[in-house]
C-alpha cells in the first residue's frame, strides 16, 4: 500500500473511516462530516498524506517520533525480533532477552534512584501501574490510609480511568464521577499567567510549593500517597515552569513524606534536551513513567520505574504468594523492547540526542522571533518542546473567545501550507519537532507558521 498510486481511492477510504472507525478524542459527528486526515508515508521529518501532500511534521506525530520517520535500523530490529521470537509475556515469570536488556539499559540511563522496571503498553498503562504500585506499597508497609494523590491542574496522565482522573481536563472526566475522591489538584506553575511570572520566577515556584503543602495539610499528612507531575505540562498547553521548579517540588514531597512521581511520557528521551527532564535539575524521583520516545512511536511501549525503596516495600511487605495484580498480555513485549533498544542506540551512539540539543537552538530562535507577531502573547520552550499562546490583546493577555476555535483554524490553515503542529484549547499552538530536524527544516517550519499566522490576522 505504500506508493500513493497503490492507495485505494482516498475519498472512498475516508468514507469507510467515517462510517466505521471511531476516533474517540475527536468530536464524533464533526469527524463524520470532516474527517479523517489519512497519512500514507513518512521520511525523516516529513509526512505524505493520502492526497500526495508533503507535510513538515512539527509535532513528531503525537510528541513521539523523536528519531524521525523511516529509520531503517529500527525497522530491521523489529523484523529480526519478529522472526526470532515475536511474543513472550512479562505477565507471569516468562521473559525475553530484549526485555531484560531494555530493563538494564533503562536503569543505566535514568536517575540513580530508579532500579526496577515494569514494561507497559504505553503511557496510560505506565501511569495506571504507578498508581497501583504506590497503593500496594503503602498497604504493604502498613500505611493503608495513604491513598490520596495530588496532581496539577492542566496535567495529562492518560485516558485509562485512573490516569483520566489524574488528568485535570474536563473532557476526560465527564460522566465518570472523576476525579475519584482520592484525586486532587493544585494550580499549574504557569509563568505567563502568574502576576510575577515574568520578573520573579521564584514566586511561581514558591506558589506551587505552598499549594502542595496546603493541599497535604487539608487532606491530612497521613492520608496523602504521592504527588504526580509532568516536568513540563504537555497536553495542558506546554506549560514550562521556571528552572528549579521540579527540584523544589521534589524536596517538598520529601519533607511532606509523600512519594514523588515524574511523568516523563512526553519530556523523556531528549525532548527537553537531556535524556530525561529530571536530569537537568538533578532530581531523583521515587517513580517515573515513560512511553512515546522510548520506541519513538514505531511500536507501542512504555515503562514504569520504581525506586528500590518502593519495590522492596511491596516485595517484602505483601503477604507471601500474593501478587500485585497488574499486568497485560503484551507486558514486556519483545518486539517493543527490541525497537526500544535500537531507538536508544540511535539517541546515544547514533548521535540523535546531541542533534536534538543542537536543533533546540534553532527551535528557540524560531519561536522567540514569533514573539513580536501581533497575535502572539507568549512564546515558550525548553529543548524541542514549545508553544505559542495567542492573545487578542498583548497588554491584558486576553485570549480569543474559545468559540472562535482560532487555534484549530490556524492548524487547519497550516496543514494547507504543508506544516503540522498541535492546536490546543485556550488559543495555544504546540510544537514538538523530531530530534533529527535540520537547520533548514527549522527555517521552513517557522516560515510556514509565520505565513499561516499572517494569513489569519
Interface with ligand PMP (CB under 6 A): 122-124, 127, 156-158, 230, 234-235, 263, 265-266, 291, 302
Beta-carbon neighbour count of residue 20 at 10 Å?
A: 7
How far apart are CB 122 and ligand PMP at their closest, in Å?
Answer: 3
Considering the complex, what minimum distance in angstroms separates the CB of residue 292 from ligand PMP? Answer: 6
Euclidean distance between CA atoms 261 and 253, whole angstroms: 10
Closer Cβ to ligand PMP, 90 or 123, answer by number: 123
CA distance 114 to 108: 9
Question: Which C-beta is closer to ligand PMP: that of 78 or that of 266?
Answer: 266
User: Closest CB to ligand PMP among 124 and 272?
Assistant: 124
Report which of 70, 67, 64 is spatially closest to residue 432, judged by C-alpha positions.
64
User: Is the Cβ of residue 187 or residue 350 nearer to ligand PMP in the bound state?
Assistant: 187
Q: How far is the CB of 127 from ligand PMP (least distance, A)?
A: 5
Give the whole-angstrom CA distance, residue 313 versus residue 325: 16
In the complex, least distance from residue 235 CB atom to ligand PMP, rounded to whole angstroms = 5
- Distance (Å, rounded) from C-alpha 413 to C-alpha 64? 23
The Cα-based distances of 194 to 31, 67, 232, 440 in angstroms read 36, 35, 16, 35
The minimum distance between CB 305 and ligand PMP, in angstroms, equals 14
| DSSP per-residue letters across 287-345 | EEEE-GGGTTTSS--EEEEEEHHHHHHHHHHSPTT-------TTTT-HHHHHHHHHHHH
Closer of 201 and 302 to ligand PMP (Cβ): 302
**Which residue pairs, CB below 8 angstroms and at least 24 apart, start in 316-319?**
316/140, 317/137, 317/139, 317/140, 317/141, 317/142, 318/136, 318/139, 318/140
Please tell me the distance from the alpha carbon of residue 253 to that of residue 246, in angstroms, as a whole number. 11
> Rounded to the nearest whole angstrom, what is the least distance from the CB of residue 267 to ligand PMP in the complex?
8
Q: How far is the CB of 167 from ligand PMP (least distance, A)?
A: 8
Nearer to ligand PMP, 68 or 158 (CB): 158
- Report how far residue 185's alpha carbon sits from residue 330's, in angstroms, rounded to the nearest whole number: 32
Given phi > 0 = left and psi -120 to 50 = alpha, else beta, which region is 430? beta
Least separation, in Å, of the C-beta of 129 and ligand PMP? Answer: 12
Question: For ligand PMP, which is the closer residue by CB, 59 or 138?
Answer: 59
Which of 376/423 has CB closer to ligand PMP? 423
What is the DSSP-derived secondary structure letter of residue 242?
P
Residue nearest to ligand PMP (CB): 123
Using the minimum distance from each CB to ligand PMP, give the nearer residue, 234 or 430: 234
Q: How far is the CB of 400 from ligand PMP (least distance, A)?
A: 25
First-to-last C-alpha distance (Å) of the chain: 40
Amino acid at each position: 500500500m505504500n506508493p500513493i498510486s497503490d492507495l485505494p481511492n482516498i475519498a472512498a477510504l475516508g468514507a469507510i473511516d467515517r462510517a466505521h472507525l471511531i476516533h474517540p478524542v475527536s468530536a464524533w459527528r464533526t469527524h463524520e462530516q470532516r474527517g479523517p486526515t489519512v497519512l500514507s508515508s513518512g521520511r525523516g521529518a516529513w509526512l505524505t498524506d493520502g492526497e500526495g501532500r508533503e507535510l513538515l511534521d512539527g509535532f513528531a506525530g503525537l510528541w513521539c517520533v523523536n528519531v524521525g520517520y523511516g529509520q531503517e535500523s529500527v525497522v530491521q530490529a523489529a523484523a529480526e525480533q519478529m522472526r526470532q521470537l515475536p511474543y513472550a509475556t512479562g505477565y507471569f515469570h516468562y521473559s525475553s532477552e530484549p526485555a531484560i536488556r531494555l530493563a538494564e539499559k533503562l536503569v543505566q540511563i535514568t536517575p540513580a534512584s530508579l532500579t526496577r522496571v515494569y514494561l507497559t503498553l504505553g503511557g496510560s498503562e505506565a501511569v495506571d501501574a504507578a498508581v497501583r504500585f504506590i497503593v500496594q506499597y503503602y498497604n504493604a508497609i502498613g500505611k493503608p490510609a495513604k491513598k490520596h494523590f495530588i496532581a496539577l491542574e492542566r496535567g495529562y496522565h492518560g485516558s485509562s480511568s485512573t490516569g483520566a482522573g489524574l488528568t485535570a481536563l474536563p473532557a476526560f472526566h465527564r460522566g465518570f464521577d472523576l476525579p475519584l475522591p482520592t484525586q486532587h489538584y493544585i494550580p499549574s506553575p504557569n509563568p505567563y499567567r502568574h502576576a510575577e511570572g515574568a520578573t520573579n520566577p521564584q514566586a511561581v515556584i514558591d506558589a506551587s510549593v505552598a499549594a502542595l503543602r496546603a493541599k497535604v495539610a487539608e487532606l491530612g499528612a497521613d492520608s496523602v500517597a504521592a504527588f504526580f507531575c509532568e516536568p513540563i505540562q504537555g497536553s495542558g498547553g506546554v506549560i514550562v515552569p521556571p528552572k528549579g521548579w521540579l527540584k523544589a517540588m521534589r524536596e517538598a514531597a520529601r519533607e511532606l513524606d509523600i512519594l514523588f512521581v515524574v511523568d516523563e511520557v512526553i519530556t523523556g528521551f531528549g525532548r527537553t534536551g537531556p535524556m530525561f527532564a529530571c536530569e537537568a535539575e538533578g532530581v531523583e524521583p521515587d517513580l517515573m513513567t515513560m512511553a512515546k520516545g522510548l520506541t519513538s512511536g514505531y511500536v507501542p511501549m512504555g515503562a514504569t520505574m520504581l525506586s528500590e525503596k518502593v519495590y522492596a516495600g511491596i516485595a517484602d511487605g505483601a503477604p507471601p504468594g500474593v501478587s500485585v495484580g497488574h499486568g497485560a498480555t503484551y507486558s514486556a513485549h519483545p518486539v517493543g523492547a527490541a525497537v526500544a533498544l535500537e531507538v536508544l542506540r540511535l539517541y546515544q551512539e547514533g548521535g540523535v540526542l546531541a542533534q536534538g540539543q543542537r536543533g533546540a537552538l534553532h527551535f528557540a530562535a524560531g519561536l522567540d522571533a514569533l514573539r513580536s507577531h501581533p497575535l502572539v502573547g507568549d512564546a515558550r520552550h525548553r529543548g524541542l518542546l514549545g508553544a505559542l499562546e495567542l492573545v487578542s490583546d498583548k497588554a491584558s493577555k486576553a485570549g480569543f473567545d474559545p468559540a472562535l476555535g482560532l487555534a484549530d483554524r490556524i492548524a487547519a490553515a497550516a496543514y494547507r501550507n504543508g506544516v503540522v503542529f498541535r492546536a490546543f484549547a485556550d488559543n495555544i499552538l504546540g510544537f514538538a519537532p523530531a530530534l533529527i530536524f535540520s537547520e533548514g527544516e527549522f527555517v521552513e517550519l517557522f516560515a510556514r507558521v509565520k505565513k499561516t499566522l499572517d494569513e489569519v490576522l
